[in-house]
Chains A and B, each alone.
Chain A
Amino acid sequence: MDFGALLQNSLAAALGPDAIVYALAAIGLNVHFGYTGLLNFGQAGFMAVAAYGLAASIATWGLPFWLGILIGLAAALLLAVLLGVPTLRLRADYLAIATIASSEILRLVFGSVTLVDWFGGSNGRQGFAGDFYDLNPYNGRLDFGLFSFSRNDAWVFTVGWVLVALSCLVVWALMRSPWGRLLKSIREDEEAVRSLGKNVFAYKMQALILGGMFGAIAGFMLALKQASVIPTDYATDITFFCYTALLIGGAGRVLGPVIGAIIFWFLLSFLGGFFTRAAAADIIPSVIMTDTQASLVRFILVGLGLMLLMIYRPQGIFGDRREIAIDGR
C-alpha cells in the first residue's frame, strides 16, 4: 500500500474545500453550542437555505451574484428567527428537535417534485457559480509541494480560508466583548443572567442568528465549491459531522472548530483511503469487506468516535471541561 500517496491525499483533504465548509459550519455551531449553550441540530438547514437562496436566485430567477448572496443571508436570518421564536424559551432538547425537524423539512421541500421549476428537484441546481469562478486570479494549479489544487479548487481554497480567518476574527472579537461574556454567562446559568435584568431571549436569538450566518457562509462555500446544490448534500448527517469536528477541536474556543475540521477531514480521508485500498488490494479479504463496505467503515468510526469523545473528552483538544454546556437542565 502506498502510504505516501495516502498521506498526501489526506493532507489535501484536511486543508481542502470540504474542510473549509465544515470549519465554517462548525464556527457557527461553536457560537450556538460552545458559547451560548444552544443545541442547534439543524445547521444543515441554515446551509441549505443559504445555498439554495444563492443558487435559485441566479440559476432560476437570473439575479446577479451579490444579490444572490444577500438573499441567501436573508433566508438564513429568517430561518433563525422562525426557529428561535418558538423554541428559545424552552428546554435545550426542544430546540434540538425543532431544528433537526426544520432542516429535514427544508431538505424535503428543496428536493420536492412540486417545486422542481424553482429548485430542480433531486437534481438540484447548477450553473450559478460562473460569476464566482470568473473572479479567479489563478492561471493554473496551485502547488504546495506535497499536494496541489486544481485552478478552481485553488480559488475556493483561497476564498475559503480567508473567510474562515475573518470568521474566527469576528468570533474572537465578539466573545471578548461584553456581549460575548453575556452569552457565556447564559451558557453557565441562564437564571442568574435573567435575575440581573438581562433579556436572555433576545441574546439567545442574536446568538442563533450569528451562528446561522456562519452556517449560511458554509452553505455558500459548499454550493460554490462543487458549482451545484443537491438536496442530499444537506442531510442531517452533515450537522452531526460538524458537531464531531467541533467537539474534536474543542467547543467554546475560537480555533477549536477550525482545528477540529482539519483533523476530522484528515482522519476521514485517511481512513477512507486506507480501507478502500486495503479492500481493493485484498489485504482485508472481500468476504469481510467489499469495496462498497470499505467506504462505510470511516462513518462507523465517526459514530464511535463521537460517542467516545463525548464520554471521555467532551472538551476536545483545546476546550475546558467546565465550560461545555453538556449537563442539561
Chain B
Amino acid sequence: MRLRFLALMALAMGASFLVAGGAAAAQDDPTPSPSANAAADDGPSIAVVLVDRRGITSAEKGKPIPGVSVAVTSDTGDPVGEGVTDAEGRAAVGLPGSGTYTVEVDPETLPDGTELSGTGGTKRTVNVFLDGETRIQFPIGDAPKAGPAFGERLTNGTVSGIKFGLIVALAALGLSMIFGTTGLTNFSHGELITFGGLVTYGFNRGLGLPVLVAGLCAVVVSGAFGWAQDRVLWRPLRRRGTGLIAMMIVSIGLALLLRNIYQYVFGGSTKSLSQYVDQERRSYGPINLADKEIGIIVIALLAITVVCVALATTRLGKATRAVSDNPALASSSGLRVDGVISAVWIVGTALTGLAGALLAVNQQVEYQMGFKMLLLVFAAVTLGGLGTIWGALAGSMVVGIMVEVSPVLGVPSELKYVGALVVLILVLLIRPQGILGRRERIG
C-alpha cells in the first residue's frame, strides 16, 4: 500500500513537472517565420542560416544577412536547387530525398566586408537522413580567440574540480554511511541524487519557489524518501535475513524502476531551473568563479562539516559509528540498531539529495543525472576505502579534481570520466582497502 501511495505521489508531482516544463518550452520557442522561398513542407529540405555574429557575446543574437545566394548540388554533381536568404538570414531548399548533398554559399553575394569565418570555406557536405529540415549554419564571426593560458586553465580546472569533488563527496558520504551501517552496496544511489535534482526542479518550476527554497525542500523530501525506503524495503529485507548480494541485486532492480519512473514523469529532455542558469564568471585573482559556484562550494562544505562534527561528537553520531563497527555488539550494548539505521538513511539520503540539488544548479536537470555520477561516487568511495567517512571525502576530492583537470592535461573531454574509473580499478589492484580503509574490511 505504501509503495502504491508513493508511486501516486511521484506521479502527481511529475504531472506538475510536465505542465511547468511544457509551459516553459512554449515560451522559449520563437514563432516560426514564414519563409519567402519555403521548400516543400513534408519532404526533406536543407535550411541555410547566415547570421553575422561579429563583435558580440555568445548570449546575444546576431544580425541576419539577407540576399545571399545558396546552391545545393547532389553527390553526383547535379544541381538540386537554389535559394536566397530572407530577412531572417534563412534560405530553404527542398530535396528529392535523403542522401549526401553539397551546399555552397555564393561569396559574391555576401555584403561587402563580410566573410565566412568557419573552416571549410563556402562549401559544406551534408548527410540528410530524415524528413523535415536539416539546418546548416555558416558561421560569420570573429576569428576564434586563443584559449586562456595553460596555468589559468589548470587553476580553473582545479577549482571546478574541487566544486565537483564536493558534490561527489556529499553523495559519497551518503553512500558510505549507509554502506557502513547496513553493508548494502547501493546501486540505486545514483537515483537518489537524481531524486534531489528532480524534486528541486519540481518545487522550482512547478510550484514557483525560488531555487534556494526549492533546494531546501528537496533535501527534506529526500530525507523523507530515504526514511520511507528503509521502512518499506530495506528494513523488512534485513528482518528476513536477506543476504548482502541479494540486497545488492534488489538495489539494481530499484535503480531500474526509479530511473524509468523518472523518465516517465520527467521526460527524456534536459531542463534548467529558473534562476542561476547563465551567470557570468567573476575574476578573483587567478581564478574565475560564478556566484553560484561559490554558493555550491560553501553550502557543500557547510553540510559536510556539520555531518562530520555530528558524527564525531553527538550521541547519535557515536551510535552510528558503533553500529558501523559491530552491529551485534552495539545491539547488545543497548543501542537501538534499527533506529540508528533509520537515522543514517535519513541523513544519508538528505545529503545525497543535496548533492542532486547542487548538481541541478551547477548544470541542468535530467532523469539520468545521478546515474551518470554513480560510478564516480563508487570510485570515490572505493578510492578512499569503503565505509570510512574521511576516506569517502578524500576519495571524492581526488576523483572530482581528476575529472576536471584531466581535459586540461590533454585527455579528450568525452573521456574525462574514464580516468577516474581506471583509477578505481588500479586502486583495487594496488591497495584494495583504499587510502584510509582498514584491511579487515575487504574480505
Q: How many A-B residue pairs have CB under 8 A?
A: 137
Is the beta-carbon distance between B257 and A303 smaller than 8 angstroms? yes
Is the beta-carbon distance between A112 and B428 smaller than 8 angstroms? no
- B185 part of interface (Cβ distance < 8 Å): yes
Q: Which of A83, A97, A111, A299 contacts B382 (CB 8 A)?
A: A97
Among B256, B426, B442, B443, find the residue whose CB has the most chain A CB atoms closer than 10 A. B256
Q: Which residues of B contact A86 (CB under 8 A)?
A: 425-426, 428-429, 432
Is the beta-carbon distance between B379 and A303 smaller than 8 angstroms? no
Q: Which of B243, B252, B254, B428 contacts A328 (CB 8 A)?
A: B243
- Decide yes or no: A114 and B256 within 8 Å by CB, A90-B428, A97-B382, A296-B264 being known contacts: no
Q: Which residues of B contact A300 (CB under 8 A)?
A: 256-257, 260-261, 264
Q: Which of A112, A297, A306, A329 contacts B256 (CB 8 A)?
A: A306
- A163 part of interface (Cβ distance < 8 Å): no
- Decide yes or no: A112 and B412 within 8 Å by CB, A86-B428, A311-B242 being known contacts: yes
Is the beta-carbon distance between A325 and B252 smaller than 8 angstroms? no
Is the beta-carbon distance between B253 and A307 smaller than 8 angstroms? yes
Is the beta-carbon distance between A243 and B264 smaller than 8 angstroms? no
- Decide yes or no: A307 and B250 within 8 Å by CB, A94-B432, A97-B185, A302-B256 being known contacts: yes
Nearest CB to that of A86 among chain B residues?
Answer: B429
Q: Which one of B56-64, B103-111, B339-347, B416-424 contacts A?
A: B416-424
- B255 part of interface (Cβ distance < 8 Å): yes
A295 to chain B, nearest CB (A): 10
- A153 part of interface (Cβ distance < 8 Å): no
Q: Which residues, 71 to 105 on A, are CB-close (under 8 Å) to B?
A: 83, 85-87, 89-94, 96-98, 100-102, 104-105
How long is the Cα–Cα vector from A92 to B263 in the complex, in angstroms? 31
B53 to chain A, nearest CB (A): 25
How long is the Cα–Cα vector from A307 to B415 in the complex, in angstroms? 33
Q: Which of B185, B261, B379, B432 contacts A96 (CB 8 A)?
A: B185
Is the beta-carbon distance between B249 and A243 smaller than 8 angstroms? yes
- Decide yes or no: A240 and B256 within 8 Å by CB, A93-B185, A94-B432, A101-B421 being known contacts: yes
Is the beta-carbon distance between B429 and A303 smaller than 8 angstroms? no
How long is the Cα–Cα vector from A208 to B206 in the complex, in angstroms? 49
CB 8 Å contact bits of B77-116 with A (1 = contact, 0 = none): 0000000000000000000000000000000000000000
Q: Which residues of A contact B228 (CB under 8 A)?
A: none
A125 to chain B, nearest CB (A): 16
Q: Which residues of B contact A83 (CB under 8 A)?
A: 425
Is the beta-carbon distance between A303 and B378 smaller than 8 angstroms? no
- B248 part of interface (Cβ distance < 8 Å): yes
- A237 part of interface (Cβ distance < 8 Å): yes
- A326 part of interface (Cβ distance < 8 Å): yes
Q: Which of A87, A299, A325 contacts B428 (CB 8 A)?
A: A87
How long is the Cα–Cα vector from A86 to B418 in the complex, in angstroms? 18
Q: Which of B254, B261, B418, B428 contacts A307 (CB 8 A)?
A: B254
Is the beta-carbon distance between A306 and B246 smaller than 8 angstroms? no
Is the beta-carbon distance between B253 and A104 smaller than 8 angstroms? no
- A327 part of interface (Cβ distance < 8 Å): yes
- B398 part of interface (Cβ distance < 8 Å): no
Q: Which residues of A contact B260 (CB under 8 A)?
A: 296, 299-300, 303
- B36 part of interface (Cβ distance < 8 Å): no
Is the beta-carbon distance between B428 and A310 smaller than 8 angstroms? no
Q: Which of A39, A91, A101 contacts B379 (CB 8 A)?
A: A101
- Decide yes or no: A108 and B415 within 8 Å by CB, A39-B248, A304-B253 being known contacts: yes
How long is the Cα–Cα vector from A302 to B259 in the complex, in angstroms? 12
- B245 part of interface (Cβ distance < 8 Å): yes
- A305 part of interface (Cβ distance < 8 Å): yes
Is the beta-carbon distance between B415 and A114 smaller than 8 angstroms? yes
Nearest CB to that of A113 among chain B residues?
Answer: B414
CB 8 Å contact bits of A126-148 with B (1 = contact, 0 = none): 00000000000000000000000
Q: Which of A89, A293, A304, A314 contacts B257 (CB 8 A)?
A: A304
Nearest CB to that of B411 among chain A residues?
Answer: A114
CB 8 Å contact bits of B422-439 with A (1 = contact, 0 = none): 101110110010000000
How long is the Cα–Cα vector from A309 to B282 in the complex, in angstroms? 54
Q: Which residues of B contact A307 (CB under 8 A)?
A: 250, 253-254, 257
B272 to chain A, nearest CB (A): 21
Is the beta-carbon distance between A94 and B254 smaller than 8 angstroms? no
Q: Which of B249, B412, B421 contacts A113 (CB 8 A)?
A: B412
- B237 part of interface (Cβ distance < 8 Å): yes
Q: Which of A97, A297, A311 contacts B250 (CB 8 A)?
A: A311
Q: Which residues of B contact A104 (CB under 8 A)?
A: 375, 417, 421
Q: Which residues of A contact B414 (CB under 8 A)?
A: 108, 111-114
- A109 part of interface (Cβ distance < 8 Å): yes
Is the beta-carbon distance between A97 and B424 smaller than 8 angstroms? yes
How long is the Cα–Cα vector from A247 to B379 in the complex, in angstroms? 28
Is the beta-carbon distance between A305 and B264 smaller than 8 angstroms? no
B417 to chain A, nearest CB (A): 7
Is the beta-carbon distance between A314 and B246 smaller than 8 angstroms? yes
How long is the Cα–Cα vector from A247 to B248 in the complex, in angstroms? 14
How long is the Cα–Cα vector from A308 to B250 in the complex, in angstroms? 8
How long is the Cα–Cα vector from A247 to B245 in the complex, in angstroms? 13
Q: Which of A89, A101, A299, A314 contacts B375 (CB 8 A)?
A: A101
Residues of A within 8 A of B (CB): 39, 83, 85-87, 89-94, 96-98, 100-102, 104-105, 108-109, 111-114, 237, 240, 243-244, 247, 292-293, 296-297, 299-300, 302-311, 314, 325-329
23 contacts between A and B (CB under 8 A): A39-B248, A83-B425, A85-B429, A86-B425, A86-B432, A90-B428, A91-B442, A92-B245, A93-B248, A101-B424, A104-B417, A108-B417, A113-B414, A243-B249, A292-B267, A300-B260, A303-B257, A303-B259, A306-B253, A311-B237, A311-B240, A328-B183, A328-B246
Query: Given A292-B268, A309-B253, list of 14 further CB < 8 A pairs?
Result: A39-B248, A86-B432, A93-B244, A93-B248, A98-B424, A105-B418, A108-B415, A113-B414, A296-B264, A300-B256, A300-B261, A310-B253, A311-B240, A328-B245
The 3 closest A-B pairs by CB, nearest first: A303-B257, A303-B256, A328-B244
